[in-house]
Every structure is written in C-alpha cells, then in structure tokens.
Amino acid sequence: SYHAGNGDFNPFFEVVPSNLRLFAIALATIAAIIASQALITGSFTLVAEASSLKFLPRMNIIYPSTEKGQIYIPSINKMICVVTVAIVFLFRTSHHMEAAYGLAITVTMLMTTILLFEYLGKKGKPLYLRLIFLIAFAFIEGMFLISSLTKFLHGGYVTVLIAGFILAIMYVWFYGNKIRDKREAKNAYVRLDEYTEMLTDLSHCEDYPVYATNVVYMAKVKYNKFIKREILYSILDKRPKRAKAYWFVTVNVTNEPYTAEYAVNTYGTKNVINVQLYLGFRKQTSVNVYLRQIVHELIVDGTIEAQPQRFTTTPGRDVGDFSFVIVNDVISPLTKLTGYEKFMVEARVWLQNLSSNPASWFGLEYADTVVERVPLILGKHQESYIKRIKPKK
C-alpha cells in the first residue's frame, strides 16, 4: 500500500478499495481523454469565433459534417500538438504540472464569472443582483487564485506565457486593424462602376499582350459597387493586365451547408463582372468549379463576350483560361506613422502574410494563382523631390 510519506501517494486512488483500483484507473483515463477532447473542440470553436470577430487572422476551417458548429482547424490542431509535447517534456510528471494547471483553472473560473456578470447586464438584470453574484463567486475564486499565484515560479508561469502569447496576437490583430482603418486614406475605396469604361478599353487594346482570358480577384465588393483601390491598382497601374473579362468575386458564406447560388452585375458592360457567390459553409472551397460554370452560362445567354478556344484537348470548350490574383499588402516607405502605430500595422501585416494562404480558403491551390505585393501607404506624407543638375565635368 501507499504511505503518506511516499511521493507516489495519491488521495484519489487511496479512497478507492484496492479491488476496485484498476476500475478507477480506467475511469480516470477515460475522463482525461474526454477532457482533452473538450479542450481540442473548444479551442476550434473559440478560434473560429475570435476570427469572425476580427480578433485573430482568418484560418482554413474544415466542416466534417452538415452541422456548422462542428469544425476542424488543422493549423490549431498542429499547434496544440506541439505545445502539448513541449509541456510534457518540460514538466515530465503530472505532479510538476499542478501549479500551471491550477492557475489556468482558477483564472478561467474568474473570467467566466466576470463574463457572466456582463452577460446578465446585457439581459437587463438589476445591478444589485449582478453585484451579489459577482462578489460571492469572485471572492471564492479570488482566494483560489491567490493560493495558485504562490506557485507561479513552480510552473504557473507557463500558463501566463501561453496566455500572453495568444493575447499578444489578438491585441496586434485587433488594434492593428483599428489603426489601419483609422489612418487609411479616405480614397482607399473607389467605385467600380466608374472604372468600367477604362477596363473595357483595356480589354480590347491591342497594344498590350493578353495576360489571361479571365482575370479573377477574390475581392469583396461593398454595396455592389465599392472596391479597394489596390485591386484596380493591380490591374491598371502595376502592369496593365489585359483580359477578356475581369471578375470581382465576393464569397458570402451562408448558415446552410449546401447553398449554391450566385448573382451578377456587369454594370452594362460585357467585360467587367461583379459576382456575389452565396455558398454553404461546406461549399466555400469550390469557387474554381463554380466560376467555370458561371462563365459558361453567361456566355450562353450573351451577358459576356464569347471565349472561343482554338487550341484545346476538350472538344466544344467555350470557357477560356483563368488567372486568380491575390493581393498582399506591404508597408510603403512613404507611410508616416508614430513608432507605436507603425509597429502595430507592420505586425498586423506580417501576421496576415504568415497566416493561411488565401488560395486555400477558396480551393484555389491547384489553380493558376498569382500573389502580388501592393504598397500600403498610411498617414500623411510629403512628396520627396530630387533636383536635376548639369553633368559634372
């Protein structure tokens, strides 16, 4: 039997009769597995919600069933695996892990109490009832927290480091977006319908080689007409991209799993097409397939110009090639921001470029995808001039 002075003494197993100890071990193992599954699935849900609330970068989410709440995020799963293995090598035994685990639990309990206090306020509950609830539970949980803090240096710091790392990412992403939106020029968005004539002329201009039959930008078109200036900069300024048709595709994810609908607006042209896709959460990675069908249908009903294919292995093919262009921001040297603001925006852009490739969000990994870097200029800046002088003898 175990003795109190023995380091292997475990109160939980000691209260179980010796003939039932094997059953208790099996039960504890199953409970640990269930808890680990709750941690994993809970992490997926929290990350997905944080991403939708603009607290974390967008990630590739897989829906294994027809329930939108059942999700799988490969990158988070890999991250949890690495952290778990690292913690096992760091602590080696569950006994050494007690401080970190205890601190995590008590902080979680306290945060839940505070969040519930706020939730009750949103529901219009009287303030005195909310304060009674807050004081009663926060007092108990506060004592647990203080007792856990005494073991901060014995492993509790690991919990704080992990939480701090996640908080830093969320802080940079959220406030980096805030600063960018605040400092972005008023003309960051332009009206797409004001550039349709220019795009149509470029489409028929023989002075430029054909870049692709269909140039596609996965770019959100707000209110059916406003688009980021950097998209048109990519087409017209960086290197004029002559194409048979210019596609601006907005993916709207619905709450149903298998929605597959679309609406188009050509602004009275045959070369500029704004496509609003309404796809179920299990259909959003099929953009490439659906777009080919849309092009075919619009050619058949005369909405856009025909795209006859002279050279093809598919007899009767009437849809041309595609080039999907993804625009990535880079901070321009002309950006004039304070040290803190510049750091936040640069860190936000770095996180964006580090996170999942936008091509994987829409199933374009095997399509002809081009990633372009477009300068992002924020804040007021003065133009720099250089003076011309006569050649030196």
pLDDT band at 265 (very low <50, low <70, confident <90, very high): very high
Distant-in-sequence, close-in-space partners of 260: CB < 8 Å, separation ≥ 6: 278, 279, 280, 283, 290
For residue 101, what pLDDT is reported? Answer: 81
Q: Is residue 384 part of a domain?
A: no
For residue 382, what pLDDT is reported? Answer: 57
Q: State whether 176 and 315 are in the same domain.
A: no
Q: State whether 133 and 34 are in the same domain.
A: yes
- How many other β-carbons are positioned within 10 Å of the β-carbon of residue 302? 9
For residue 58, what pLDDT is reported? Answer: 85
Question: Alpha-carbon distance 64 to 70, whole Å?
Answer: 7
Q: State whether 69 and 146 are in the same domain.
A: yes
Contact status, residue 270 vs residue 223, Cβ threshold 8 Å: no
Return mean pLDDT, the chain. Answer: 85
Q: pLDDT tens digit string along 288-301?
A: 888 889 999 999 99
DSSP lists the bridge partners of residue 346 as: none
Q: pLDDT tens digit string along 308-328?
A: 888 888 887 888 889 998 887
Question: Alpha-carbon distance 287 to 353, whole Å?
Answer: 22
For residue 283, what pLDDT is reported? Answer: 78
Q: What are the start-end ranges of the H helices in the chain?
A: 11-14, 21-52, 74-91, 98-122, 127-149, 156-183, 196-204, 229-232, 287-300, 339-354, 358-361
For residue 379, what pLDDT is reported? Answer: 61
Q: State whether 163 and 203 are in the same domain.
A: no
For residue 1, what pLDDT is reported? Answer: 42
Instruction: Compute the average pLDDT of residues 329-343.
Output: 74
pLDDT band at 4 (very low <50, low <70, confident <90, very high): very low
Q: State whether 295 and 337 are in the same domain.
A: yes
Distant-in-sequence, close-in-space partners of 308: CB < 8 Å, separation ≥ 6: 318
Tell whether the model's pLDDT for residue 377 goes beyond 80.
no
Q: State whether 194 and 325 are in the same domain.
A: yes
Instruction: Compute the average pLDDT of residues 103-112.
Output: 89
Q: State whether 46 and 157 are in the same domain.
A: yes
In 3-state terms, what secondary structure has residue 88?
Answer: helix
Q: State whether 152 and 255 are in the same domain.
A: no
Which of 180, 197, 222 represents a domain boundary (last residue)? 180
Burial annotation 13-41 (CB, 10 A radius, 16+ → b, else e): eeebeeeeeeeeeeeeeeeeeeeeeeebe
pLDDT band at 272 (very low <50, low <70, confident <90, very high): very high
- How many other β-carbons are positioned within 10 Å of the β-carbon of residue 387? 4
For strands 322-331 and 210-217, give the pairing.
parallel
Q: State whether 163 and 227 are in the same domain.
A: no
Q: Is residue 368 part of a domain?
A: yes
Q: Is residue 261 part of a domain?
A: yes
- How many other β-carbons are positioned within 10 Å of the β-carbon of residue 50? 18
Q: Is residue 386 part of a domain?
A: no
Closest CA to 97 of 150, 156, 36: 156
Question: Alpha-carbon distance 149 to 137, whole Å?
Answer: 18
Question: Alpha-carbon distance 227 to 217, whole Å?
Answer: 11
Q: Is residue 248 part of a domain?
A: yes
Q: State whether 288 and 191 are in the same domain.
A: yes
Q: State whether 143 and 172 are in the same domain.
A: yes
Number of domains in the chain: 2
Which of 156, 180, 204 represents a domain boundary (last residue)? 180
Q: Is residue 204 part of a domain?
A: yes
For residue 378, what pLDDT is reported? Answer: 66
Distance of CA 178 to the CA centre of its chain: 16
Closest CA to 189 of 136, 233, 237: 233
Q: State whether 19 and 152 are in the same domain.
A: yes
Q: Is residue 98 part of a domain?
A: yes
Which of 180, 211, 229 represents a domain boundary (last residue)? 180
Contact status, residue 240 vs residue 265, Cβ threshold 8 Å: no
Q: pLDDT tens digit string along 208-225?
A: 999 999 999 988 888 888
Count Cα neighbours of 9 within 13 Å in the Cβ-side half-sphere. 7
Please give the radius of gyration of the chain, using alpha carbons only, rounded to the nearest integer.
29
Contact status, residue 137 vs residue 113, Cβ threshold 8 Å: yes
For residue 110, what pLDDT is reported? Answer: 92
Q: pLDDT tens digit string along 136-171?
A: 999 999 998 888 888 787 778 888 888 899 999 999
For residue 60, what pLDDT is reported? Answer: 83
Query: Which residue range is the domain that position 174 belongs to?
Result: 11-180
DSSP, residue by residue, 265-280: E-TT-SSEEEEEEEEE
Q: Is residue 393 part of a domain?
A: no
